Structure 1
Amino acid sequence: MRDLVYTGFMSLDGVVDSPGGGPTEEHRSGGWVFKDLEFVPEAWSLKGEELADTTALMFGRRSYEAFAPVWPGSEDHAAYKDLPKYVGLVERVDWQRFRVTAAGRSLTKHLALQLPAEAESEEADSAAPQDARPSLPEAVIAQLRQHGNVGTDSREFEEAVGRAFAFLGFQAEHLGGSGRTDVLAIAQLAAKDQYRIIVDAKSSGNGQVAESSVKFDALRDHKHKHKADHVVVVGPEFAPRLKNWAVENEAILLRIEELATLLDRHWRNPMPLTELRDAFSRIDAFSDDLDERYQTLERRSLLMRRIIDLASQEALDEDPADDGYISVENIIYALRKEFTPRPSRQEVDELIAFLSSPVVAALESTKGRHKLIDSPRNLALRLVGLGGTIATD
């Protein structure tokens, strides 16, 4: 069991709001800890002891924005600089309800308060199968949102953008510095298919990248210097006129939330780098083109899932019509109202060929009929195992 400790300031008459005060805090008693209380060294020593045992800091958005400018030049807060900081873990739904954000879900994965009883034995079992699938992108998404909306964490934001492009399958290198792009992303493919992207990361404390912050002349120089094929600028939001200027200068403006959605969809249905290349070539319609491509991938995954479901239902039927076999025609008929447009013969044939291959070994096919020959769970484990054989860091 781990300890989750909360400390705070409270007056004897119950005031907890705005103990330190500040320009963004409008409480009538703002700053009461400093204004109205006698300084007692023994009491304040508790804060030093508390910090010595702290391994991470959790803040609300306004508190973080108030504290962030203070830390770099404050000797009293020197220990704060190197601690991980988590911001924006929940968001308000209405006056009474809140919900956990992607950043909050990411934190809970690293902050289990109680380890399951079987955890020790599981760790000892080195023979247990391991999930080779890349980890959820929530940690990267949380970092993008945290550092991209502050304006003072430019390097942290650049590194988070680099990790995002690495998650998409690129060889991503954080460069930064004068005369260089922030991130260079390379699609490591055959010579004729390989392409390079320069990525400019723009954080903003007010939530919008200003017109003057994007230097298109510098981006052209970086593109030439790094022999890049595409230019991408990542930021929270962009000033309206930047969108037209970006198209004129052959650059893609990618909002943080768009990148977060891209990472989430890519984790569920990874898009080949060659298709991403084609999407990046559609500068004036990048988002729409990318959405269409992911819809195609998501349709294919859902269709495969439903084919397995139907084959499983037929195989387990107490009175199977054809010894547990099902035809492509019956599959298309059964799914005709679930998909728009309805599945084509080619779509179903391609997925059945995949599921019937000796490597996947999910279906047995004979004379145009198909039968499930393994449990869906074993099929899932087999695909994870196949991924493990080719997984790379």
Structure 2
Amino acid sequence: MTFLTDVEEVDVDIEEFNELVGYDETYRPQGFTRVADKRLNQLSGEESVETAIADLTDAGERVHPVDDEDDGPAPDLADKLQAASTDGNAHEEFEKLVAKAFSRVGCAADWIEGGGDTDVEIRSPEHVVIDVKARGNGRVNSLEVTNVDKHRRQRGADHAIVVAPGFAPKVIDNAETTELTTIAVDDLVELLDRREEYAVPPEEILALLTRSGAFQDDRLDLLDEYIQDRIDAGETLLAVIRALERADGAVETAEDVRWIVVGMEDSNDIPTTEEVRSALQLLAHPSVGAVEQDKDGYRVTTDYNNGIQLVQSLGDVVQPLGREE
């Protein structure tokens, strides 16, 4: 028994359909037939299923996966976003730029061409739909929340986001009581800047964006706190590497390593023993291998310059104390 939701009837030419999914030209479906996953996977490697059906029927939405490999620097994208958001004749361009922006922050994003559906779909790290609103006057004065939620349900997404150049206060207040998030273009640009400069994981960005209500300065402050915690964690790793390098031999305990750091650092912002111990555990992990531990204590296996590259390469692994999974 098969259950279907959101069924949409289409009429396609059988020969064109057979060619599309790789069936023999003489094949004729009998009753209800499900196209095998391997055939759909081969199709989606070239284009989306929705786009293929739209091409066959000359109707419906076309889904375009976003690829940002050939993009220019983030400032160019930011300028284009801000310009298109207030251009009443650039709705489609604005949609594509928003999809590009979310791809740039690390999400798997599709731009959905055509009316009657959402404008951008985020497939990972969370399933989210995005409605994009360009406004010549610079802000959205009213918002049909039921339509946005309809788009979310049509796509089976967990959350909905609305992107616009700005929002009237009543729209922001309304967002607080609904299961969606509003974000102004300027704040989206701020997210792009932080992703570009600090390589913030997309999971952290989506965690803030999928909280219902308006994305405003308070959420940017939370992101900045997270960034600072990551910077501090990276500096602790480098301080431990430098301390072990200076010791020129095994250091018995994390407390001993910390006292070496105290002697090196001309600052009151010294890591705690627990933070040093956490850093040693990460650096000694087989996947990192920057520190080795034996019966005599800890020894560094790299120099400080290589340590800088190592910490930068760890990326999402570097987390402040207490946030480790």
Contact 1:252–1:286 (CA under 8 A) maintained in structure 2: yes
The alignment status of 1:180 with 2:117, answered yes or no, reads yes
1:309, distance to aligned residue in structure 2 (A): 4.0
5+ residue gaps, structure 2, are 1-68, 316-325
Q: State yes or no: 1:233 paired with 2:162.
A: yes
Aligned residue for 1:201? 132
Where does 1:292-331 land on structure 2 (aligned, <5 Å)? 292-309=222-239, 311-312=241-242, 315-316=245-246, 323=249, 325=251, 327-330=256-259
What is the CA RMSD across the aligned residues, in angstroms?
A: 3.6
Within 2, Cα distance between the matches of 1:368 and 1:164? 51
Over alpha carbons, which structure has the higher Rg? 1
Contact kept in structure 1, 2:96 and 2:111, CA below 8 Å: yes
Whichever residue aligns with residue 353 of structure 1, its letter is: Q
Shift in CA distance, 254/343, structure 1 to aligned 2, threshold 3 Å: farther
Indicate if the aligned counterparts of 1:154 and 1:203 stay in contact, CA closer than 8 A. Answer: yes
From 91, 95, 107, the counterpart of 1:158: 95
Match of 1:351 among 279, 287, 290: 279
Q: How has the CA–CA distance of structure 1 residues 151 and 351 changed in structure 2, closer, same or farther, with 3 Å as cutoff?
A: farther
Q: TM-score, normalised by structure 1?
A: 0.51
Match of 1:118 in 2: none
Picking from 261, 272, 288, the partner of 2:190 is 261
Change (3 A) 1:385 1:278: closer
Could you say what secondary structure the match of 1:173 adopts?
strand
Alpha carbons of 1:331 and 1:139: their partners in 2 closer, same or farther (altered >3 Å)? Answer: farther
- Return the alpha-carbon distance in structure 1 between the equivalents of residues 75 and 260 of structure 2: 36
Equivalent residues in 2 for 1:332-351 (5 A)? 333=262, 339=269, 343-351=271-279
Structure 2 letter corresponding to 1:232: I
CA contact under 8 A between 1:154 and 1:202: conserved in structure 2? yes
| Cα shift at 1:286 | 4.9
After TM superposition, give the deviation of residue 369 of structure 1 in Å: 5.4
Residues 281 and 136 of structure 1, relative CA distance in 2, 3 Å threshold = same
Q: Secondary structure at the match of 1:199?
A: strand
Alignment of 1:93-108 (within 5 A): none
- Name the residue aligned to 1:149: 86
Unaligned runs of 5+ residues in structure 1 are 1-131, 189-194, 388-393
Q: 1:162 to 1:259 in 2, by over 3 A?
A: same
- Once structures 1 and 2 are overlaid, which stretch shifts more, 264-273 or 167-176? 264-273
Q: Deviations over 1:58-115 (max 9, x none)?
A: xxxxxxxxxxxxxxxxxxxxxxxxxxxxxxxxxxxxxxxxxxxxxxxxxxxxxxxxxx
Mapping for residues 261-300 of structure 1, pairs under 5 Å: 261-267=190-196, 268-271=198-201, 273=203, 275-284=204-213, 286-287=215-216, 288-289=218-219, 291-300=221-230
Shift of 1:201: 1.6
Once the two structures are aligned, what percentage of the paired residues are identical? Answer: 25
Partner SS for 1:252: strand
Q: Is the 8 A contact 1:269 1:297 kept in 2?
A: no
Aligned to 1:128: none
CA separation in 2, counterparts of 1:149 and 1:169? 25
CA contact (8 A) 2:133 2:140 kept: no
TM-score (norm 2): 0.61
- 1:277 Cα deviation from its structure 2 partner: 4.8
Task: Indicate how the Cα distance of structure 1 residues 386 and 135 shifts in structure 2: closer, same or farther if over 3 A, else same.
Answer: farther
Deviation, 1:329, is 3.2
Aligned counterparts of 2:185 and 2:200: Cα–Cα separation in 1: 19
Cα 1:336–1:289, aligned 2, differ >3 Å: closer, same or farther?
A: farther
Q: Which amino acid aligns with 1:210?
A: V
Aligned pair count reads 240
**CA drift at 1:380:** 4.7
User: Do 1:362 and 1:374's aligned partners in 2 also have CA atoms closer than 8 Å?
Assistant: yes
